[in-house]
Each structure stands twice: as C-alpha cells, then as structure tokens.
Amino acid sequence: MSSSVHTHSKVQEKTTREPLGHLVLSHALKDAGFKGEVLSDKKTLELYATDESVFSINPQLVLRPLDRRDVEVAVNVIAEQTKSFPGLSLTPRAAGTGLGGGSLTDSVVIDIKEHLNQIDRISKVGSKVTFTAGPGAMWRDVEKELKKYDRYLPCYPASKQICTVGGAVANNAAGPDSLRFGHVADWVESLEVVLKDGKTYDVKPLSYKEFRKLIKQKNALGEIAKQVFELVESNEETIKRAKPKTSKNSAGYALWNVVTPSVAEFKKGKGTFDLTRIFSGGQGTIGIITSLTMRTEPIHHDTSLIAVPVFNLSNASRVVIEALKYNPINVEVFDALTYDAAMQNPQFFRDRLPSLSYYRVLLSMYTTYHVRWRRKLPEFVLLITLDNASLKELKKPMTEVIEALRVRGGPSARLIQNPNEREMFWQVRDGSYLLSKLLDPNKRPAAFLEDMTVPPEHMAKFFSDIKYLLKKYNVTAAVHGHGGNAHFHFYPLLDFTNRTTPALIVKMSEEFFNVAVKYGGNICGEHNDGIIRTPHLSKMFSKNAIKLFEETEHIFDPDDIFNPGKKVHPRFDIKSSIRKVN
C-alpha cells in the first residue's frame, strides 16, 4: 500500500506556482493536438478566480476542451509536464456555483461546461428511464427533457437552475427531496472518466465475476480497482466506523459504499464493487468525468403541503420527528429573518412571478403574517410535502396528521390548499439565499458555515448554541435548509472589504463546526469539502479514516495532478485566499 509520507513531499511541491511551467504548457498542449481554447488573458483568469464561495484565487491558465479527446490530451500533457514542473495541476470546473471553492485553483482550470454539455439520449426500458449527458449539461435542460417522460431527478439541488449535472455528481449534491430519495450518487448508473494515464474508462457497479475480470486487465482502471478493493478489504472495520451518522453527507471519499453489502458477501457473489460511489463526490480529485448516465423518478403529482410555524424552538425537533413518520418527500425550513426580508422587499418577487400571481402571493404573505400569525414571526416555518399515496398506505387521514403535528401556544400546522399560499411559501423558501443578500447591501452572505447537519433530535439544542455564537460575534445570518435532515444553511452577512474578515471566518469556522460535531453532526451535508472544509475533516473523521482517504486519492492520482488541496492534504492558506470585495 502506498505511504502517505511519499505523497507528502509531492504535496509540498504543489504549493509552488510555476509561471514557466504554465508557459510551456500552452505550447505543449497545442503540439499534442489540443483543439479547444487555451486562455491566459487577465479578464478570463479573473472570471475563473471565484465561484460562490468566500475565496478568490487566480488560475494561471484556462482550458476549454472541445470534446473527450481534448480532456485526454490535457491530462496526458499535465502528467508529462508535472515531472519537470511539479506545481502544475488540473482542476475541473462546470458552472462554478460550488460554495466551498472546489473549482478554484492557482494552476490550470479545465472548463467542462463550455463544450461537453450535450444531452445524448433518454432511454426508456420498461418502467425504467435513464439519461446520458455530457457533464456540462445544465440541470434545468435535463429537467426539461425528462419532463416529457413525466420524470425528474429527485436529488436536485436548490441551485438546479444554475448548475450542471456533472458538477452536481462531482459534489455529490443533494436537495429538498433527498430526504426521501438520497444524494446524486444514489442516482448514478454509470460514468465515463479520464484517469491518470490520460485514457477514458467506463465505471459502473460490478458483480464479483465482472470485478475479477477487470482486475486482470493491465490498465489504469484494473490496477486502481484492485488497489481500492485491497484497501477496503484490509480496513473494513475502520471504514464502517468512519461512515457519518447523519442522514446526509458529502465529506470525504464514501469508501463505505464501494463494496456492498460486505467484502465477505461480495466474494460469495452478492452485491457490487462500485467506484462511481467515490467519483461522485470526488470533486475532480481522482479523475475527470466526461459523460454520465443517471436514473430518474416519476414526478409526484398527488401531493399535500403542510406548513408548521414554530414559535418556540424547543418544539422544532418534535415536529420534525413526527413528520418523518409519514415518509415525506421533503421537509424544508426557513427562519424569521428570511420571511421578514421577503416582506420588506416585495420587489424581489416582481421578476419571478407573472403580475397577477405577484399580487396574490404578496397578499398571501401579508395576510399570513398579520392575520394567521397575529403579527408575530415564528422562529421557523417548516414546509412538509407528503405524497397522498404514502398516506393512504399508512392509513392516515390528513386530519390525524395535522393533529399530530400541532404545536401548543400559537397558530399551528395547516394543510395549505390555496395555490397562492402554496406558491408564497415556496417563493420564500426558494428565494431565501438571495433574500438574505437584501438584509444588508454593504455585506455579502458568506458561505462557510452553510452545510452543517445534526441528528434531528438535537436540532433545538444545536440551534440555541448557534444563536448564542452569532450573538457573540455580533453577526446576522438568515437560515434556511432541509428541516427533515436537520440540515441548515447559515450565511453570515460579512463585509469582505474589511481587513479583519478573513481572521473572523477562520475563528468562526473553528467554533461553529465544533458545535455541529458536539451534537453528533456533520460539517458537510451536501456542498462537499472544497477549500473551506478540507482542513476541518479531522473534526469528523479519525486519523485512520483520513489516512485511508489520502491513500485512496494516491491510488488514483499518485502525482497529485487532479485538483490538489481538496478533500485531502489541504494546501491553500485560507486567510490569504479570501475574496476582498463583496
């Protein structure tokens, strides 16, 4: 097995920038037949220096491959040139909507969205519908095509209008309906990836027989599969223990999902060996995805929405735990600040709604506040979507469900039957991130505490600790998220032009993350590790688990050419990499 000492020296070398190396690279790429654009002008580099995270890091070169062959050429050339210039590396980027800095680098960006964005086919075999697309295909375009088949991708992130399917796979993203339907990784059928040798391979779940056949092959995938299997086999207990206990997670490499149900059972011919489970969520650190095939789910048409205003935090866990008994499709949440921001900024909804609907939604918003809530904002509003078929199976009439979700001392759970009210609640929930920007125009909602999740039974205690810390730091943060998973997106409003902000971010991360971990929680529910969370993974994982992640990365990428500094071996200095404009 590879030693982490060996990788360490390489990691050190990766910290040096290589101006000459990048100059040589431009020529080497053209000589090797790279057909796409190779860009290094100031404007382009600035464009690729930021994503939706708190960071700003200028790359040295941006590549826009025209096709899979170009990706292979880029990997080959970098692999060759890194022998002379060890600071060179290749970081894939899709729509750049990531919140942790996953697509940022000080070396070479390879933009997958620009050209590898076609939807190749939708296949229907019996009741199973799958689609195959380039990783740069926009989620919204895939969704539109799937709708023709009355299907959707239930693991959709809230950013589905602005992100790609490939970026979502690489981040192992998740969203509202993940409460019932899991993460993006759970919907991946197969992937096409370019590995360290610059060749393309098909990766999919394999039976024991297929796995035995693969490891006999003398190629990169065969060798990698053999080594990953050995790693899992000799560390099965450590890996089992490392699996986060929260219902959502995108931290680390999901080694616990590679050999299922167990090594012993797999060797008897049961279950699968599945490397898609670590390419999903791998953030481009172990190879580059060039095509993907995913499964889909029928659209649920017959659903009911229940809204529960929670005025007393101590009721929150009870309502969520009760709601989970009804197998909900989602249980979403937003807080008082978000609703207040919506009421203070009616113009926010003007572009988002046709005019008649706009007035109806506003009327519903103010009526809810003034009449139903008697001019008192609830700490949280929980939105619970149930599918009526499940309720029928459970033999639960709606009146009983509403009664069980009641909270004492104020307006309680209600079935939302009026379409304008339904629209109003979803407009506020979906707009919550952008609405928080309106709370203070001189500040920016900062994504660094935005992915913590705890077991639902600890929700109230977790929240009161967080409220205490926000007060201590004198920081405002609107909150929204996935209540059913007790998964919260906090975006503290910070002024990035203030020179003390980077130190504040470092200090707050440390303290807030410790609170999540104290309650058996997770600092990385769905947005992945990126630059911001990688240095903190030791809070969630044991030393042995982190070592296994490092060994996994090394098996796929011994020369550390794929997106170094993310998921393992943090290498970016957080303070000096933080953006300086709002």
21 is a site residue for ligand FAD (CB under 6 A): no
> Containing H/E element for 69?
helix 68-81
Cβ-based neighbours of 449, under 8 Å, separated by 6 or more = 477, 490, 491, 492, 508, 509, 512, 513
| Binding residue count for ligand FAD, defined by CB under 6 A | 36
Please name the residues in contact with 287: beta carbons below 8 A apart, sequence gap of 6 or more: 193, 194, 195, 196, 279, 556, 557, 562
> Which one of residues 4, 97, 509, 522 is an interface residue with ligand FAD (CB under 6 A)?
97
Rule CB under 6 A: choose which of 107, 246, 280, 283 binds ligand FAD.
283
Q: Is 173 in the site for ligand FAD (CB under 6 A)?
A: yes
User: Distance (Å, rounded) from C-alpha 9 to C-alpha 6?
Assistant: 6
CA atoms of 131 and 514, how far apart (whole Å): 41
CB of 162 to ligand FAD, least distance (A): 7
In the complex with ligand FAD, which residue's Cβ is closer, 94 or 129? 94
Q: Give yes or no for residue 135 binding ligand FAD (CB under 6 A).
A: yes
Q: Beta-carbon neighbour count of residue 458 at 10 Å?
A: 17
Q: Binding of ligand FAD at residue 92 (CB under 6 A)?
A: yes
As measured in angstroms, the least distance from the Cβ of 290 to ligand FAD is 7
Strand partners, 231: none
**Residue 157 binding ligand FAD, by CB under 6 A:** yes
Stretch of residues binding ligand FAD (CB under 6 A), selected from 173-181, 212-220, 374-382, 385-393: 173-181
Amino acid at 136: G
Residue type, 157: P
Residues 488-547 binding ligand FAD (CB under 6 A) are 526-527
DSSP state of 277: H
Q: Which two tokens stand for residue 558?
A: 């011994």
Q: Least distance in Å: CB of 351 to ligand FAD?
A: 16
Shortest spacing between CB 371 and ligand FAD, in angstroms: 31
The answer to whether the beta carbons of residues 366 and 382 sit under 8 Å apart is no
DSSP category for residue 202:
E
| Interaction between residue 91 and ligand FAD (CB under 6 A) | yes
Interface residue with ligand FAD, options 25, 77, 158, 232 (CB under 6 A): 158
CA atoms within 13 A on the CB side of 360: 11
Q: How far apart are CB 326 and ligand FAD at their closest, in Å?
A: 23
Which residue of 85, 358, 433, 549 would you call a contact of ligand FAD, by CB under 6 A?
Answer: 433
Torsion of CA 136, 141, 142, 148, to 10 degrees: -160
Q: Which lies closer to ligand FAD via its Cβ, residue 116 or residue 259?
A: 116
Position among 103, 276, 522, 552 found at the interface with ligand FAD (CB under 6 A): 103
What DSSP state is assigned to residue 522? B
Write the interaction track for ligand FAD spanning residues 358-397; mark x where CB under 6 A is met and - where it is not.
----------------------------------------
* Angstrom distance (rounded) from CA 289 to CA 112: 9
User: Which residues inside 27-56 make contact with ligand FAD, applying CB under 6 A?
Assistant: 51-52
CB nearer to ligand FAD: give 106 or 465.
Answer: 106
Measured distance CA(63)–CA(470) in Å, rounded: 41
Binding interface with ligand FAD (CB under 6 A): 51-52, 91-99, 102-103, 112, 135, 157-159, 163-164, 166-168, 170-171, 173-175, 283-284, 288-289, 433, 526-527, 563
